[in-house]
Amino acid sequence: MCQISNVVGVVAGLLTGAGGLQANIDTLAAAESLPDISVGSEQVIAQNLPADIAERNTPGKYPCVLVYFDEVDNRLREKSRTFSGTAGMAIEARVSSDRVGDLDAQLNVLVDAVTSTLDQNRGDWGDGIFFGGEYKISFAAVKHGGKNFIQTAKVTFTLDVSRN
């Protein structure tokens, strides 16, 4: 799978780069009159970690965003390529608070910032990666964890990848 191993890093770089996640968070939070929400590059983790393991093995600062492969499908559409297929990606946003009422607004801003970043980057990402613009969002129920309560949402989308 070495032909696509850096795709997760490309997506994480898109989120942490200029005009990425934090710029969109600032715009949305100002429009909604919400307190400042900060997501630094150390809070964007290129790995699929359950919340309980992430809290024990990473700095555990919330909110955080995890970027990982959901599934990879080498369809060999281009016979001359080693890999030409799709990479199913997931961007999971996690927020935590000591009060349940604070979670929903924070999570919605974070999800909107993720989808705004994706919307602004439709098309060719270079290096054989193309994003068509479609995504799906799923929200999980609030549960215990983090600073007392934690809530997550997952944005899934498909990238077309063509590599030698």
Q: Which residues contact 139 (CB under 8 A, 6 or more apart)?
A: 107, 151, 152, 153
The amino acid sitting at 125 is: W
Of 24-33, 73-82, 94-103, 114-123, least confident by mean pLDDT is: 24-33
Sketch out the chain's domains with CATH numbers.
7-163 (3.30.70)
Higher pLDDT, residue 20 or 48: 20
Q: pLDDT of 106-144, one tens digit each?
A: 999 999 999 999 999 999 999 999 999 999 999 999 999
Beta strands in 3-105 (DSSP E): 44-45, 64-74, 83-97
Nearest residue to 61 via CA among 82, 41, 87, 83: 41
Q: Are 130 and 85 in contact (CB under 8 A)?
A: no
Binned at pLDDT 50, 70 and 90, residue 60 comes out as: low
Task: Note the pTM of the prediction, 2 decimals.
Answer: 0.91
Question: Cα separations (Å) of 93 from 62, 110, 128, 148?
Answer: 10, 7, 26, 17
d(CA 90, CA 71): 9
